[in-house]
Amino acid sequence: MEASATEDCCVEVAVHIRPLINDERLQGCADCVTVVSGKPQVQIGTHSFTFDHVYGSTSSPPSAMIEESVAPLVDGLFKDIMLLFLLMVRRVQGL
């Protein structure tokens, strides 16, 4: 996806691949999701899925998910709340 196309998009999709827990490993379970190197893409068997962001497994660490995906949403939420508050104050004051 090009940078200009990403800027116009209102929705971004991220996937977090969780590691297997010890019980799953003891039962002989194996990872079935492969991260395509250098791309925000995962492969399950013969199927490939592309996302805006891939976290966990061998891709970006889960802590990057907070910094790159969640923090901007929270910041944007507080900016919108502050804007709404200012607009309500101005309306009440009759301005």
Q: What is the pLDDT of residues 6-54, one digit of tens each?
A: 566 677 888 888 888 899 999 999 989 988 888 999 999 999 999 988 8
Residue 76 has pLDDT above 70, yes or no: yes
- What's the 3-state SS for 11-71? CCCEEEECCCCHHHHHCCCCCCEEEECCCCEEEECCEEEECCEEEECCCECHHHHHHHHHH
Residue 93 has pLDDT above 80, yes or no: no
User: pLDDT value at position 47?
Assistant: 95
Using a cut of 0.85, tell me whether the model's pTM lies above it.
Answer: no
Residue 3 has pLDDT above 60, yes or no: no
